[in-house]
A and B are shown apart, each in its own frame.
Chain A
């Protein structure tokens, strides 16, 4: 369910890093909790993001939730396809429905995030 090559946050984002190139999304658990997602608000390319601070938001029929940056960096690309098809976040949150691509300020930072196994037990405990 949760890919081993991703790193995870307590706020239910994932990040996949390859050197200083990273991809950020929300987890399957997050999409389940949010319910049907109807709108995604993402930052502009070039925006600096700060670990722990909001980089955008996801709106479902239940609530609007912040997306928190897992690491420091700069936005290099956003997933434009989500504007017309936010429902993709409900069906493929770990794949086609990635949110943003970034350049990490410090690739080491992902070491502080949870592994897939840790995240799985974290989500289990939260329930």
Chain B
């Protein structure tokens, strides 16, 4: 039975272009208190235009209603559980927002002199230190804008180090359970990618790895815990095998929510890794971000980090641009600064013990869901899971209902879907990550919904296959949308 939600009226809303009528405006400027300047004289007539063609003109109340109405069509972590596996959709504490709106931080300009930016630079210094400690690494760059950007930066660092040693090598090894961005990042950094098959327990097969690591291999990119939520028990051995052959161990930190405060990648042999501040460290996520993908490295890679680097001279912080081994900038300015502030607020509000608790709660929640749903959904890998759990749809598929159908029915129950059909090593995957955010009430209500759907599939699979029913729009025709995409709005 659906308990969490009920249907209610929601407003229809046109596009701004359709609402537009000439002369309307949503702003009021004060009267000029300086002499008026003719823009055509000041800038040259050829640089001044009278109007922007097709630019919508609407009133303030229309603008407000437009975005408010659209926002009610959405689902958000502030409505309820968002179990989108691998994405770590945790609550964004409001204290982060308060701190990020501090006047001196919110209004800082990247071009203001260093002497006036000391506070901002201290935020960055503190965050670099905190992340290095959490990861057990020696140095951190905050520049990369998100996870995949961090991966690319990390692989470029490895390439720079190996080049300096005389041979950048040719290949990067990646387990078949990896996020799709891993092979993409390796390829963009100029490496060939070789896929490693997962073992029966979902981990890296050591004997296969030993054979694959040759003098051609620059690095292994591993996610730990992996995309099944299973900790790579042999990780120390994996690192040894690589290091013996002069190769590096890259860790995708997408799943750090299972490790923070408990285990440090630097301690188990990782040479370079990225973090997703928008996942693990509670900065807003989805809806366009922006994200942040800091990269943490061991000392040996530190000389190659992007410029500028923060440098402390006594009480003063400065940016150091003169680093001859650096791979150079990977982003304009200093990373997504507003995100960095929020992450530091989260870390400092929790403190060490608080972060450790968050990790344990995240794991506890996922294990609780696993135990509750195991009688109803097939669990293809039996190894103990950490912060997320991956089921397969094999039982339901026999009645013609696939993971995507179950996900769409879950929408009717008032939850955001879990991650569908990933990781690829699980046929018809349902990947569920509750995060530490959820209390027992919300999780129980999610479990009830999943069990109820399992029963519905047994009695009326056709109904589930056509879900959702309670949404603004019925099931979207994804096939036609992909085959005959309409990419541009045109006036009627």
Q: Do A and B come from one complex?
A: yes
- Judging by beta carbons under 8 Å apart, are B479 and A38 in contact? yes
- A44-B215 Cα distance, complex, nearest whole Å: 34
A25 an interface residue at 8 Å Cβ cutoff?
Answer: no
B326 an interface residue at 8 Å Cβ cutoff?
Answer: no
- Judging by beta carbons under 8 Å apart, are A86 and B483 in contact? yes
A61 an interface residue at 8 Å Cβ cutoff?
Answer: yes
- Judging by beta carbons under 8 Å apart, are A87 and B483 in contact? yes
B441 an interface residue at 8 Å Cβ cutoff?
Answer: no
- Judging by beta carbons under 8 Å apart, are B421 and A61 in contact? no
- A87-B484 Cα distance, complex, nearest whole Å: 12
A10 an interface residue at 8 Å Cβ cutoff?
Answer: no
A125 an interface residue at 8 Å Cβ cutoff?
Answer: no
B482 an interface residue at 8 Å Cβ cutoff?
Answer: yes
- A36-B421 Cα distance, complex, nearest whole Å: 15
Residues of B with C-beta under 8 A to A59: 482
- A102-B149 Cα distance, complex, nearest whole Å: 39
Query: Which of chain A's residues has its CB closest to B485's CB?
Result: A38
What's the least CB distance linking B352 to chain A, in Å?
41
- A36-B402 Cα distance, complex, nearest whole Å: 14
B 265-293 to A, binary, CB cutoff 8 A, 1 in contact else 0: 00000000000000000000000000000
Interface size on B, residues (CB 8 A): 6
What's the least CB distance linking A11 to chain B, in Å?
12
Residues of B with C-beta under 8 A to A62: 421
What's the least CB distance linking A23 to chain B, in Å?
25
CB-CB contacts below 8 Å: A38-76 with B: 38-39, 59, 61-63
Residues of B with C-beta under 8 A to A86: 483
Query: Which of chain A's residues has its CB closest to B422's CB?
Result: A63
B478 an interface residue at 8 Å Cβ cutoff?
Answer: yes
Query: Which of chain B's residues has its CB closest to A85's CB?
Result: B483
- A62-B405 Cα distance, complex, nearest whole Å: 13
- A62-B429 Cα distance, complex, nearest whole Å: 12
What's the least CB distance linking B405 to chain A, in Å?
12
What's the least CB distance linking B360 to chain A, in Å?
35
- A75-B327 Cα distance, complex, nearest whole Å: 40
- Judging by beta carbons under 8 Å apart, are B482 and A38 in contact? yes
- Judging by beta carbons under 8 Å apart, are A39 and B482 in contact? yes
Of B421, B479, B483, the residue contacting A63 (CB under 8 A) is B421
What's the least CB distance linking B181 to chain A, in Å?
14
- Judging by beta carbons under 8 Å apart, are B483 and A38 in contact? yes
Residues of A with C-beta under 8 A to B482: 36, 38-39, 59, 61
What's the least CB distance linking A105 to chain B, in Å?
22
- A77-B483 Cα distance, complex, nearest whole Å: 24
Of A39, A61, A63, A87, the residue contacting B478 (CB under 8 A) is A61
- A61-B483 Cα distance, complex, nearest whole Å: 9
- A87-B482 Cα distance, complex, nearest whole Å: 11
- A36-B424 Cα distance, complex, nearest whole Å: 17
Residues of A with C-beta under 8 A to B421: 62-63
Residues of B with C-beta under 8 A to A39: 482-483
Query: Which of chain A's residues has its CB closest to B479's CB?
Result: A36
Query: Which of chain B's residues has its CB closest to A38's CB?
Result: B482
B 408-450 to A, binary, CB cutoff 8 A, 1 in contact else 0: 0000000000000100100000000000000000000000000
What's the least CB distance linking A33 to chain B, in Å?
9
A39-B483, A62-B421 known; 15 new pairs, CB 8 Å cut-off, are A36-B478, A36-B479, A36-B482, A38-B479, A38-B482, A38-B483, A39-B482, A59-B482, A61-B478, A61-B479, A61-B482, A63-B421, A63-B424, A86-B483, A87-B483
Could you jot down 17 A-B contacts, CB within 8 Å?
A: A36-B478, A36-B479, A36-B482, A38-B479, A38-B482, A38-B483, A39-B482, A39-B483, A59-B482, A61-B478, A61-B479, A61-B482, A62-B421, A63-B421, A63-B424, A86-B483, A87-B483
Which 7 residue pairs of A and B lie closest in terms of their CB atoms, listed nearest first?
A38-B482, A36-B479, A61-B478, A38-B483, A61-B482, A62-B421, A61-B479
- A-contacting residues of B (Cβ < 8 Å)? 421, 424, 478-479, 482-483
